[in-house]
């Protein structure tokens, strides 16, 4: 079936679902293949549960006319998403980077929603499946779209751009994330810049944090990039501190108290502010959106439990974000004992050993009490801190050794699930 024909069916049934356990009446089920299941096997069940159509790529599962056989279901999903996106003549902003994509996207979503009917990536749906699903979720009356793009190898962002066809975009920052897949930091820089390769060809606009030397250098490729972060830029903000939450002021001396922890979040705020100004959202509305945004899902959350205060930052970890978190944590003013609980950083490839050792050195240089969890950290064990080979061992220790009256930073890669320590902190 041609994409245009399928698109007509989608317009009648604009609800795409990829999990037969979550079927909604009148949706279209796309039978994807995964590590454990072949979605084709659930095509019939999806129809029985109320799906209008099932899109399959194995003929033997064609149980009725409502099963639409295509060459490859994933590619079909991607093409349909690109086709849908191309029906819109609106600003589509692509967001990529090593750290802070979701946070920046969420703040910016709040900012742009003050003026426009904005559609944005939900959660972290940022890959070759998530971006197409995000696009297909975009209602026809959308006025502005914000599409998050994640990557862990070269060539991924340019593919995502082909589906999303952005006309605006920015890179939050480029750090030492996912080096296993990129091969090196330099390759990561090249990979992230694919968003700019696309925008240049599409005659699009890049927003550039002028305080970031790598991004500023990349800006030279654009005729008219939109800079922010410099005192001469049209959207300049002044950082007034983060103790623990960021406070800033704008050019009119309006002081804004946010609910965002960590000096590193200031660049995320600046980006959202810049795009808000560029797209002519009222100043007060921008500040209102930023000040009301509260991070969730283990991303720099501030919690109090018993006598402890906790910076829960256990969503992910790489050397750049751990270093930023340690810098920030060391500067917190508190009467409490400061303790960092760091879990292994994943997907770092060749730089893994040296970077785990470096994070230990940074924490100890800053004179912080420190607990390290995971075999990557334990490989560099010293007697100046505590080391636990696994999360279970750490949890068993915390169960019998209560932490009290402490300010605790918890940060580790997703697979470490370090948020589980919360149950034992107060
Ligand atoms: C294909 C799929 O949807 N996978 C999800 C599935 O995992 P799995 O691969 O094990 O699939 P299964 O074998 O279980 O199932 C295959 C399909 O069959 C369906 N099905 C199964 C049983 C049944 O009874 N009925 C059925 O219909 C089933 O629904 C499948 O469609 O389940 C996992 C657990 O829920 C999901 O996690 C998995 O989702 C995959 C990972 C996915 O890519 N989801 C996207 C929507 C997405 O965007 N997910 C984001 C995470 C994105 C991410 O990791 N981003 C990275 C950077 C990008 C790296 C990129 N190269 C990459 O590898 O992804 C980042 O750092 O940000 C999210 O979920 O947050
Ligand atoms: N600008 C930044 N610089 C450094 N670290 C940051 C920055 N913004 C956020 N972080 C760190 O990254 C963590 C995850 O934030 P967020 O989910 O917004 O990033 P992300 O890029 O979307 O991550 P992922 O690629 O895993 O989806 C935060 O909890 C914080 O520790
Ligand atoms: C959670 C996923 N998007 C990610 O960032 N993975 C890295 C390896 C992590 O969890 O630290």
218 lies in the same domain as 308 = no
Measuring CA to CA, which residue among 267, 352, 334, 265 is closest to residue 300? 265
Nearest-CA residue for ligand 1 atom 11 is 34
Torsion of CA 114, 115, 116, 121, to 10 degrees: -30
The whole-number pLDDT of residue 193 equals 98
Give the contacts of 119 (CB within 8 A, at least 6 positions apart).
Answer: 134, 137, 138, 139, 142, 144, 145, 146
Residue 220's pLDDT is: 96
Does residue 350 fall inside a structural domain?
A: yes
The first and second tokens of residue 261, run together, are: 């922890």
Mutation pick for ligand 3 pocket among 128, 299, 300, 315 (CB with most ligand atoms within 8 Å):
315
Give the other-Cβ count within 10 Å of 34's Cβ: 10
Instruction: Give whole-number Cα distances, 119 to 135, 155, 379, in Å.
Output: 9, 25, 45
Q: Which of 41, 71, 101 is the last residue of a domain?
A: 71
What is residue 245's predicted lDDT score, i.e. its pLDDT? 95
pLDDT value at position 332? 92
Residue 364 lies in a domain: yes
Nearby residues of 91 by Cβ (< 8 Å), 6 or more positions away = 144, 145, 167, 168, 279
Do 36 and 96 fall into the same domain? no
Answer yes or no: pTM beyond 0.80. yes
3-state helix, strand, coil in the chain (%, to 5): 40, 20, 40
Can you tell me which atom of ligand 2 is nearest the CA of 298? 29
Total domain count, the chain: 3
Contact 16, 6 (CB under 8 A): no
ipTM of the complex: 0.98
Looking at the structure, do residues 57 and 96 belong to the same domain, yes or no? no
**In DSSP terms, which residues pair with 207 in a beta bridge?**
170, 226
Tell me the average confidence (pLDDT) per consecutive run of 10 residues in the chain, 426 residues long.
94 98 98 98 98 98 97 98 98 98 98 98 97 98 98 97 98 98 98 98 97 97 94 90 93 96 95 98 98 96 96 98 96 94 98 98 96 98 96 97 96 98 94
> Are residues 310 and 390 located together in one domain of the fold?
yes
Range of the domain at 374: 301-424
Q: Are residues 191 and 260 in the same domain?
A: yes
Is 183 annotated for ligand binding? no
Residues 384, 310, single domain; the answer is yes
Q: Which residue's C-alpha comes closest to atom 4 of ligand 2?
A: 321
The CA 84 to ligand 1 mean position distance, Å, reads 22
Distance in Å, CA 413 to ligand 3 centroid: 6
CATH code, 338:
3.90.190.20
The pair phi, psi for residue 73, each rounded to 5°, is: -65, -45
Q: How many helices (H) and strands (E) does the chain have?
A: 16, 19
């Amino acid at each position: 079936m041609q994409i245009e024909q399928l698109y007509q069916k989608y317009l009648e049934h604009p609800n795409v679902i990829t999990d037969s356990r979550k079927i909604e009446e009148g949706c279209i089920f796309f039978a994807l293949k995964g590590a454990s299941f072949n979605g084709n096997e659930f095509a019939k069940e999806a129809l029985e549960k109320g799906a209008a159509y099932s899109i399959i790529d194995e003929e033997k599962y064609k149980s009725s006319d409502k099963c639409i056989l295509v060459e490859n279901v994933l590619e079909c999903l991607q093409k349909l998403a690109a086709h849908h996106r191309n029906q819109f003549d609106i600003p589509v902003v692509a967001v990529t980077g090593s750290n802070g994509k979701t946070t920046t996207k969420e703040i910016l979503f709040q900012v742009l929603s003050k003026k426009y009917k904005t559609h944005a990536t939900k959660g972290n749906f940022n890959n070759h499946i998530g971006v197409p699903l995000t696009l297909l979720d975009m209602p026809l009356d959308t006025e502005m779209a914000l599409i998050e793009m994640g990557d862990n190898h070269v060539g991924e962002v340019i593919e995502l751009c082909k589906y999303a066809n952005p006309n605006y975009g920015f890179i939050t920052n480029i750090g030492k994330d996912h080096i296993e897949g990129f091969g090196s930091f330099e390759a990561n820089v090249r990979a992230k810049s694919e968003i700019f390769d696309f925008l240049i060809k599409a005659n699009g606009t890049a927003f550039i944090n002028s305080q970031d030397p790598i991004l500023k250098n990349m800006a030279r490729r654009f005729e008219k990039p939109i800079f922010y972060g410099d005192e001469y830029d049209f959207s300049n903000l002044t950082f007034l501190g983060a103790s623990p939450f960021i406070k800033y002021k704008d050019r009119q001396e309006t002081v804004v108290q946010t609910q965002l922890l960590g000096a590193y979040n200031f660049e995320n705020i600046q980006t959202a502010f810049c795009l808000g100004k560029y797209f002519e959202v009222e100043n007060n509305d921008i500040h209102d959106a930023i000040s009301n945004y509260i991070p969730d899902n283990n991303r720099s959350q501030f919690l109090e439990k018993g006598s402890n205060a906790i910076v829960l930052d256990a969503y992910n970890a790489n050397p750049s974000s751990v270093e930023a978190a340690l810098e920030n944590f060391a500067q917190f003013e508190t009467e409490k004992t400061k303790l960092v609980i760091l879990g292994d950083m994943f997907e770092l490839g060749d730089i893994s050993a040296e970077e785990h050792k470096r994070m230990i050195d940074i924490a100890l240089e800053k004179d912080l009490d420190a607990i390290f969890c995971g075999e990557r950290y334990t490989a560099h064990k010293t007697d100046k801190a505590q080391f636990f080979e696994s999360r279970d061992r750490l949890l068993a220790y915390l169960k019998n050794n209560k932490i009290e009256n402490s300010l605790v930073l918890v940060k580790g890669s997703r697979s470490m699930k370090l948020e589980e320590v919360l149950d034992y902190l107060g």
